[in-house]
Amino acid sequence: MEKMIKKTAPKKKSAFKKRSAIRFTPDLGTIAQLELLNLKKVQNFGTEMTALVLEESYRGCGLALPLSEALQVGDKVKVRIGAGAPLIAEVRWRTELDSQIMRIGLMYLE
């Protein structure tokens, strides 16, 4: 009698275990204002880009915004989420969703 061998895929690691901070959903319509720091150093907060906040954590956030070559992985930005104080952050990842929209992940540096 032949033995039936059940093949199973290796267990995937939970994304939750990989993350170092708990994510939470922002209020509907929460906006982030971004100022690129790699191009110029300024004291006052001046909005250069506006993005929709998709997720937040204590260490960073995920944003959706119009596709731009000006914002690349490793770039430093000053970001203001909603009415909060501006924070310095680094672009950790970038994904083009289509020909006009991209999603980025920011990690707060302060």
pLDDT tens digits, residue range 22-61? 666 777 888 999 998 865 554 555 568 999 999 998 899 9
The answer to whether 87 and 108 are in contact (CB under 8 A) is yes
Q: Which segments within the chain are labelled E, that is strand?
A: 31-36, 49-56, 60-66, 76-81, 87-96, 101-108
Residue labelled with tokens 């922002």: 26
pLDDT of residue 16: 47
CA distance 103 to 33: 14
Residue labelled with tokens 């992940």: 105
Of 69, 23, 26, the C-alpha closest to 49 is 69
Look at 26 and 90; give whichever has higher pLDDT: 90
Would you give the DSSP letter of residue 15? H
CA–CA distances in Å: residue 96 to residues 39, 49, 83, 102: 22, 16, 27, 4
Q: Can you list the domains of the chain with their CATH numbers? A: 30-108 (2.40.10.220)
pTM: 0.73
